Amino acid sequence: MPKGKVYFVGAGPGDPGLVTLSAVRALAKADVVIYDFLANKRLLEYAVRAKETIYVGKKGGSRYTTQEHINKLLLKHAGAGKMVVRLKGGDPFVFGRGGEEALVVQEKSIPFEVIPGVSSAVAAAAYSGIPLTHRGVASSVSIITGQESARKAVTSIDWGGVASGKSTLVVLMGWKNLPLIVKRLLKEGAKPSIPVAVIRWGTLPLQKCVTARLDTVVQVVKDEGILPPVAIVVGNVVKLRERLNWFESRPLHGKNILVTRASMQSGAFAGLLEERGASVEAVALLKTVAPSSYAPLDKAIRRLASYDWAVFTSVNGVEYFIRRLYKKGYDLRELKGVRLAAIGKATEAALRARGLRVDLVAKDFRAEGLIAALKGKVKGRKFLLPRAEKAREVLPEYIEAKGGTIDIAPVYRTIKPRKEGERIRERLLERGYDVVTFTSSSAVKNFVSLLKKTEIAGLMIGVTVACIGPVTAEAARAAGIKVDIMPKSATVPEMAEAIADFYSDRS
Q: What does the pLDDT read at residue 412? A: 94
Check if the beta carbon of residue 395 is closer than 8 Å to that of residue 368: no
pLDDT tens, residue by residue, 246-279: 999 999 999 999 998 655 556 788 889 999 999 9
What is the DSSP pairing of strand 62-63 with strand 58-59?
antiparallel
**173 is known as an active-site residue:** yes
- SS3 call for 220: helix
pTM for this predicted structure = 0.73
pLDDT profile of the chain (507 residues), mean per 10: 90 94 97 94 92 83 76 96 96 93 96 97 98 94 77 63 80 94 90 96 94 98 96 96 96 93 68 92 81 96 95 93 95 94 89 94 80 88 94 90 94 77 84 93 87 88 95 94 94 94 84
Domains and CATH numbers, the chain: 5-118 (3.40.1010.10), 122-244 (3.30.950.10), 256-286+417-504 (3.40.50.10090), 290-414 (3.40.50.10090)
Q: What does the pLDDT read at residue 283? A: 82
pLDDT tens, residue by residue, 1-25: 678 999 999 999 999 999 999 999 9
Distance CA 288, CA 442 (A): 12
Sheet strands (E) in 22-166: 32-35, 52-55, 58-59, 62-63, 83-88, 112-115, 140-145
State which H helix or E strand residue 257 sits in: strand 256-259
Identify the active-site residue in 15, 31, 88, 173: 173
Distance CA 391, CA 380 (A): 24
Tell me how long the chain is.
Answer: 507
Cβ-based burial of 336 (10 A; exposed 0-12, middle 13-18, buried ≥19): exposed
Closest by CA to 383, choosing from 414, 339, 351, is: 339
Using only C-alpha atoms, the chain has a radius of gyration, in whole angstroms, of: 28
**58 is known as an active-site residue:** yes
Identify the active-site residue in 5, 15, 31, 36: 36
Q: Please confirm whether the linkage preceding 229 is cis (ω < 30° from 0).
A: yes
Q: What does the pLDDT read at residue 503? A: 94
Check if the beta carbon of residue 4 is closer than 8 Å to that of residue 82: yes
Q: What does the pLDDT read at residue 375? A: 86
Q: How far is CA 466 from CA 272, 277, 392, 422, 424, in A?
A: 14, 17, 21, 22, 17
